[in-house]
Amino acid sequence: MSKRIEVRDLNVYYGKFLAVEGVSLEIEPRSVTAFIGPSGCGKSTFLRTLNRMHEVIPGARVEGEVLIDGNNLYDPEVDPVLVRRQVGMVFQRPNPFPTMSIKENVLAGVKLNNKRISKSDADDLVESSLQGANLWNEVKDRLDRPGSGLSGGQQQRLCIARAIAVSPEVILMDEPCSALDPISTLAIEDLIEELKQEYTIVIVTHNMQQASRVSDKTAFFNIAGTGKPGKLIEYDETTTIFSNPSEKATEDYVSGRFG
Amino acid sequence: MTTAAAPIRAKQRPGDRVFSKSAVFAGSMILVTLAAVATFLIVQSIPALFADGEDASILDSNFWAYVGPLVFGTIWAAALALLIALPISIGIALFISHYAPRRLASVLGYVVDLLAAVPSVVFGLWGIGVLAPAVQPLYSWLVDNLGWFPLFAGPVSGTGRTILTAALVLAVMIIPIITAISREVFLQTPVLHEEAALALGATRWEMIRTAVLPFGRPGIISAAVLGLGRALGETMAVAMVLSATGAVTFQLLTSVNPSTIAANIALSFPEAYGINVNVLIATGLILFIVTFAVNAIARWIVARRAEFSGAN
């Protein structure tokens, strides 16, 4: 279910603008990796290259390789649609489909994969996915109600349920708690801890406490200035990054001296 | 001791007052106009509703027997036009909003808007002069080969000026409005929802099906109703293109065709006198009611799933 991610010399461009330069790192299966850094340093951009979602923006392209268990995502024969079925994503703001019920939202990805699914299988999948997202007990009596009627934190867990329903190998989370209150944030963090048993998780966060709470390894990104490309400054065990980083910039950032 | 303080009043500025009064005036003008038109229609219609063939020369027996086929023709022509125009319009709108490169999209948008600016009399001329002769051979072929299908039963019209041709002209006339509204709605689909679909592994078409179309559904319905309203009331093009006999028939390709209320008024009014004028005005009242009913049904459809609309 979970796979190793290897990134080699990745450059990300928007048109002619180099947004992220020369990133190489390895992400272990069944681990949580956090990307931290100031706004605009390219950590979200880099995250989106891991399931080719950056290509949605016209003019975006990539040089280098991203290997998931040895297979290059950017091989010319690879279909980005298939990549995204393996590498799920949770966004900054909860985005359940407003025209669908809670149940339809969970099944949205499965239905896309053109699989015929029997009613009992569908019900089982809805239950297990919502259980997996710690949402089942709160919504089991109103599965046919619209997903947009839930609270923000519940909506975000619904989005996580929707992502895990297609059984991806990796889950990318782009600041998943930035629109949530502290209690909902805690619920998501607990959930990340559980999801780690089965999935490889990569999370972008602005909240350094969150990075130190949930992640095994942390990557620090930074830019030299506006218009310059973002770079990976340091990548290490989370405890090392927060207690004894080897780069001065990392230490300044995590200790709150800038950013 | 002082008495209880007077409630604090918001300061009234002259600018605010002028603006609010003029807004109220503008809003009430709509109601006044509507009431004036409705009163005119009803008052003028009353004599016609109880008239028979002796009072009004255009009536055979009574008013309802006269207006029935016209109502049928109006709705049939408009429904055909909508059936043709809606899929094409949604296709154009999706192409402009989600497929075409930006430059081509804006050019196409202008072209479609330009189509809306063509006067209906020009469409009428085009219908008679170009479209009808052009489709007549096709109609012959349909009657010869698919004549067993009730809608395509013969004998074929020699001029091509049938109800289907009128519906085609109407479709061309309502495509711009349906396209323009649908395009606006599709462009407003939240990027978040589109990305949600793509991140689940949706292809572009699947993304449109899961995110764009459901989100745009109320807008599509509104657009369709506006188009239908225009098709129901369109006068000139239908009056020119359609060679009507006043029959009630679903056959699309013969020379026996129902007329529509608006076209019938335009064609009969110049020679009408006495109570015949009231009869024609009464058919106008019926058209007003039909259009109103179509709007009401559309509103009901949109409201039925308001909870799932994404507006909350």
Instruction: State whether A56 and B198 contact (CB < 8 Å).
Output: yes
Fold of domain A5-93+170-255: Rossmann fold (3.40.50)
User: Which CATH number is correct for B45-309, 1.10.3720.10, 1.10.940.10, 3.40.50.2020, 1.10.10.10?
Assistant: 1.10.3720.10
Query: B199, A112: Cβ pair inside 8 Å?
Result: no
Interface predicted TM-score (ipTM): 0.87
Q: Do B196 and A81 touch (CB under 8 A)?
A: no
Specify the pLDDT at position A259.
54
DSSP annotation of B54 reads: T
Question: With an 8 Å Cβ cutoff, are A82 and B201 in contact?
Answer: yes
- Which residue from A95, A99, A101 is facing B196, i.e. has the nearest CB? A95
Residue of A nearest to B213 (CA): A99
Residues of chain B with a CB closer than 8 angstroms to some CB in chain A: 190, 192-203, 206, 210-211, 214-215, 217, 305, 307-312
Q: List the single residue in A with minimal CA-CA distance to B191.
A: A95
Closest-CA distance of chain B to residue A16, Å: 19
- Contact A53/B198, CB-based, under 8 Å? yes
- Cβ–Cβ below 8 Å for A53 and B199: yes
- Write down the pTM of the prediction: 0.81
Alpha carbon B177 to its chain centroid, in Å, reads: 9
State the pLDDT at residue A148: 83
Are the CB atoms for B295 and B225 separated by under 8 Å?
Answer: yes
Mean pLDDT across B224-229: 89
- CA angle, corner B175, sides to B171 and B177, nearest 5? 130
Q: Can you give the pLDDT at residue B135? A: 85
**Torsion sign (Cα): B52, B56, B61, B67:** negative
Inter-chain contact A149–B312, Cβ cutoff 8 Å? yes
pLDDT at residue B86, as a whole number: 94
Q: What is the per-residue pLDDT across B188-206, written as a single tens digit (0 to 9) for each?
A: 888 888 899 988 888 888 8
Q: What is the pLDDT of residues A113-124, one digit of tens each?
A: 666 788 888 888
pLDDT above 70 covers a percentage of chain B that reads: 96
Per-residue pLDDT at A17 exceeds 70: yes
Which residue ranges make up each domain of chain B? 45-309
Condensed to tens digits (0 to 9), the pLDDT of residues A61-88 reads: 888 888 888 888 888 888 888 888 889 9
DSSP codes joined into one string, B194-259? HHHHHHTT--HHHHIIIIIHHHHHHHHHHHHHHHHHHHHH--HHHHHH----------SSSS----
Nearest CA-CA distance, residue B215 and chain A, Å: 7
> From the CA of B297, how many Å to the nearest CA of chain A?
21
CA B255 to each of CA B47, B70, B112, B126, B213: distance values in angstroms, whole numbers, following the listed order: 34, 16, 32, 19, 39
The pLDDT tens digits for A172-216 are 999 888 888 888 888 889 889 888 888 899 999 988 889 989 999
**Domain residue ranges of chain A, discontinuous segments joined by +:** 5-93+170-255
Q: Are A189 and A207 in contact (CB under 8 A)?
A: no
